């Protein structure tokens, strides 16, 4: 189980103000927790994007991987003491992020825990002007429980030229009673993956080259809901904030990334997948691009970009250089239609085989359990699907008076043929079935009871509707 409390807010402050980050990831929780694979990588990813685009200096970014509760507690308290020693009134921003295990009461660091009440106290007591807490973990909504959390697509923070915002913002990856999930394909949690992409520029809806707190949360909320909507456990990211004043609460700036990143201009709206290297590489980003496009900053390297459409996808391999901008709208994309089902006319023949074994129960008094088996082979041709199957069933029964035992053997050989008609997302299949049957009975009794054999022929109509 995972839970994560995410504190993310970078604020545009005077030059003397700094942003300090504590990012903790822990794959191991208590003995009863299932080991996570990517919580520590989540913390690395968030640290990287905030150092690169959030202008968090290396000395002000503390990354904790697999550490215990005592270490996390000590680091946060030392940061607070460091801030108190700077000035009577701090203009700095503190961001605290956690990815790992949790329950409704607190964060799990192995067998140790930090209650949410203590966590909030450490953050709220910080002398930093802006405090942001981000938790990506199961039931992380408990971090806001005492004052209430709101699950919503986005919230509005007034943006003005004079930065004078102060207070606390808390963002969590799930509601108090929900699980937070991580993805093998994304190599991270759904929420943190989408939050990192938001900070890289996917959330910059107004294209002002700045990603604000409400933009990042709104994008991460929307994409986490969309991604987890494909699973059995829907996540509802939530937030609580107590910010006063007016100012530009900016998390990242998408200009002057230098040698840390290159920029991709995604002009066409839609869903994009970006792979490291080629389609065998890891998914570097999964982003939704709005009507006015997006500008996404990524580490330099080679990427395979796919833009998904209803009946096909467009694909492009690019090399992204540091400090350079690549406009993909002007590139030559390869259109690749999604692979059709074989019945729609594949050139190659598709074959399948199957086997089923089981038992059938008594239908009349005195009948015993009997074994049965079916084996078959099928061909999927361009116009019709053909299948042949053989079945075997045996049974025995004892008469009510116990004077005679009946043994039965049934052999069947069936041939099916069907054709499928597609109507949008609905398929109607129509076909016929022919089966030859051999039925043999033998009797065990004190008198004369010769066995008997009969043959039969079965004809059937097959109709199936699939959505």
- Spatial separation of the C-alpha atoms in residues 76 and 70, rounded to whole Å: 10
In terms of domains, do 430 and 299 share one?
no
Average pLDDT over residues 404-421: 91
Residue 315's CATH number: 2.60.40.10
CB 360 within 8 A of CB 410: no
pLDDT at 22: 95
148-162, 193-207, 298-312 — most confident range: 193-207
Residue 139: the pLDDT is 55
Confidence of residue 45 (pLDDT cuts 50, 70, 90): very high
- 102/138 same-domain check: yes
Instruction: For residue 230, give the CATH number of its domain.
Output: 3.40.50.1460
- Measured CA to CA, the distance from residue 80 to residue 83 in angstroms comes to 5
* pLDDT, tens digit (0-9, with 9 covering 90-100), for 236-253: 788 887 777 666 568 888
What is the mean predicted confidence (pLDDT) over 136-143?
A: 62
CA angle 222, 228, 230 (to 5 degrees): 115
pLDDT band at 232 (very low <50, low <70, confident <90, very high): low
Q: Is the same domain home to 263 and 211? A: no
- The verdict on 178 and 296 lying in the same domain is no
Is the domain of 211 the same as that of 323? no
Yes or no: say if 202 and 219 are a contact pair by the CB < 8 Å rule: yes
Answer for the pair 95, 10: CB distance below 8 angstroms, yes or no: yes
Q: What is the mean pLDDT of residues 297-306?
A: 91
Centroid of chain to Cα 290: 21
Residue whose pair of structure tokens reads 């991580």 in the numeric block: 182
Residue 349 is predicted with a pLDDT of 63
For the residues 376-389, what does the mean pLDDT come to? 87
Q: Side-chain half-sphere of 442: how many Cα atoms within 13 Å? A: 5
Residues 444 and 396: their CA atoms lie apart, in Å, by: 11
Phi–psi pair at 396, nearest 5 degrees: -145, 155
Mean pLDDT, residues 169-193 taken together = 79
pLDDT at 21 over 90: yes
Whether residue 180 is predicted with pLDDT greater than 50 in this model: the reply is: yes
Same domain, residue pair 200 and 265:
no
Q: Are 396 and 406 in contact (CB under 8 A)?
A: yes
| Mean per-residue pLDDT over the chain, rounded | 81
Least confident of 71-75, 137-141, 377-381, 462-466: 137-141
Q: Same structural domain for residues 149 and 263? A: no
Domain that includes residue 304, residue range:
258-337
Query: pLDDT band at residue 9, thresholds of 50, 70 and 90?
Result: very low
Running DSSP on this structure, what letter comes out for residue 150?
A: B
Average pLDDT over residues 311-335: 87
Q: What is the mean pLDDT of residues 288-304?
A: 90
Strand order in the sheet with 301-308: 283-289, 270-276, 301-308, 312-320, 334-337
Most trustworthy range by pLDDT among 73-77, 86-90, 169-173, 382-386: 73-77
* 3-class SS of residue 330: helix
Query: DSSP characters for 171-233?
Result: EESS-TT--B-EETTTTEEHHHHHHHHIIIIIT-TT-SSEEEHHHHHHHHHHHHHHHHTTSSS
β 188-189/250-253 pair status? unpaired
| Structure confidence at residue 92 (pLDDT) | 84
Model pLDDT, residue 24: 95
CA 448 to chain centre: 70
Q: Give the residue from 305, 321, 337 where a domain finishes.
A: 337
Q: In the structure, what pLDDT confidence band is assigned to residue 14 with cuts at 50, 70 and 90?
A: very low
pLDDT of amino acid 160:
32
Q: Is residue 162 predicted with pLDDT exceeding 50?
A: no
User: Does 232 share its domain with 353?
Assistant: no
Q: What is the pLDDT of residues 200-231, one digit of tens each?
A: 999 998 888 899 888 998 899 888 888 777 66
Residue 255: which pLDDT band, with cuts at 50, 70 and 90? confident
Instruction: Decide which of 319, 337, 355 is a domain's last residue.
Output: 337
Q: Does the pLDDT value for residue 432 go beyond 90?
A: yes
Distant-in-sequence, close-in-space partners of 394: CB < 8 Å, separation ≥ 6: 370, 371, 372, 407, 408, 409, 410
Statement to judge: residues 314 and 376 lie in one domain: no
The pLDDT of residue 154: 38
Nearest to 123 by CA among 140, 135, 141: 135
pLDDT at 246: 67
Res 179: pLDDT: 67
Neighbour count for residue 436 (Cβ, 10 Å): 13
pLDDT band at 397 (very low <50, low <70, confident <90, very high): confident
pLDDT in tens, 99-116: 998 887 889 998 889 998
What's residue 258's pLDDT? Answer: 67
The set of residues, in sequence order, having a beta carbon less than 8 Å from that of 325 and lying 6+ positions away, is: 262, 263, 264, 265
Co-location of 348 and 225 in the same domain: no
- Contact between residue 243 and residue 214 where contact means Cβ atoms under 8 Å apart: no
pLDDT number for residue 134:
93
Nearest C-alpha neighbor of 24 from the set 90, 101, 86, 92: 101
* Domain's final residue, options 213, 230, 253: 253
Q: Is there a single domain that holds both residue 307 and residue 449? A: no
- Regarding whether 283 and 236 lie in a shared domain, the answer is no
Quote the pLDDT of residue 79.
92
Going by the DSSP 8-state scheme, the letter that residue 25 receives in this structure is: E
Domain count, the chain: 3
Q: In terms of Cα–Cα distance, which of 103, 98, 108 is closest to 29?
A: 108
Mean pLDDT, residues 29-56: 88
């Amino acid at each position: 189980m995972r839970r994560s409390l995410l504190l993310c807010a970078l604020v545009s402050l005077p030059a003397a103000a700094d942003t300090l980050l504590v990012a903790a990831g822990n794959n191991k929780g208590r003995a009863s927790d299932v080991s996570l694979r990517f919580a520590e990588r989540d913390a690395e990813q968030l640290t990287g994007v905030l150092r690169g685009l959030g202008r968090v200096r290396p000395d002000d970014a503390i990354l904790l991987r697999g550490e215990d509760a005592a270490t996390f507690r000590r680091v946060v308290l030392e940061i607070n003491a460091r801030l108190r020693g700077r000035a009577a009134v701090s203009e700095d921003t503190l961001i605290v992020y956690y990815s790992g295990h949790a329950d409704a009461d607190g964060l799990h660091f192995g067998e140790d825990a930090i209650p949410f009440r203590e966590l909030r106290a450490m953050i709220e007591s910080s002398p930093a002007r802006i405090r942001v807490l981000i938790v990506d973990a199961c039931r992380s909504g408990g971090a806001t429980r005492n004052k209430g959390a709101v699950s919503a697509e986005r919230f509005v923070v007034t943006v003005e030229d004079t930065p004078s915002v102060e207070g606390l913002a808390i963002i969590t990856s799930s509601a108090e009673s929900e699980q937070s999930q991580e993805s093998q394909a994304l190599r991270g949690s759904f929420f943190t993956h989408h939050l990192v992409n938001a900070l890289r520029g996917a959330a910059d809806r107004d294209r002002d080259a700045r990603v604000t707190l409400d933009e990042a949360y709104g994008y991460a909320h929307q994409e986490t809901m969309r991604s987890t909507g494909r699973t059995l456990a829907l996540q509802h990211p939530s937030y609580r904030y107590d910010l006063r004043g007016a100012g530009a609460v900016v998390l990242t700036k998408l200009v002057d990334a230098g040698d840390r990143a290159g920029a991709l201009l995604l002009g066409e709206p839609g869903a994009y997948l970006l792979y490291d290297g080629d389609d065998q590489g890891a998914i570097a980003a999964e982003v939704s691009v709005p009507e006015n496009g997006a500008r996404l900053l990524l580490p330099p390297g080679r990427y395979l970009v796919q833009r998904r459409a209803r009946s096909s996808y467009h694909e492009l391999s690019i090399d992204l250089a540091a400090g350079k901008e690549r406009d993909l709208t002007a590139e030559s994309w390869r259109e690749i239609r999604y692979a059709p089902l074989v019945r729609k006319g594949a050139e190659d023949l598709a074959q399948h085989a199957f086997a089923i074994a089981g038992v059938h129960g008594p239908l009349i008094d005195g009948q015993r359990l009997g074994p049965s088996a079916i084996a078959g082979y099928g061909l999927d041709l361009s116009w019709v699907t053909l299948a042949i199957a053989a079945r075997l069933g045996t049974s025995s029964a004892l008469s009510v008076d116990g004077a005679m035992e009946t043994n039965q053997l049934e052999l069947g050989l069936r041939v099916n043929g069907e054709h499928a008609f597609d109507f949008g997302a609905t398929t109607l299949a129509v076909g016929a079935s022919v089966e030859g049957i051999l039925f043999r009975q033998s009797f065990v009794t004190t008198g004369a009871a010769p066995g008997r054999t009969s043959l039969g022929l079965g004809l059937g109509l097959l109709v199936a509707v699939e959505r």
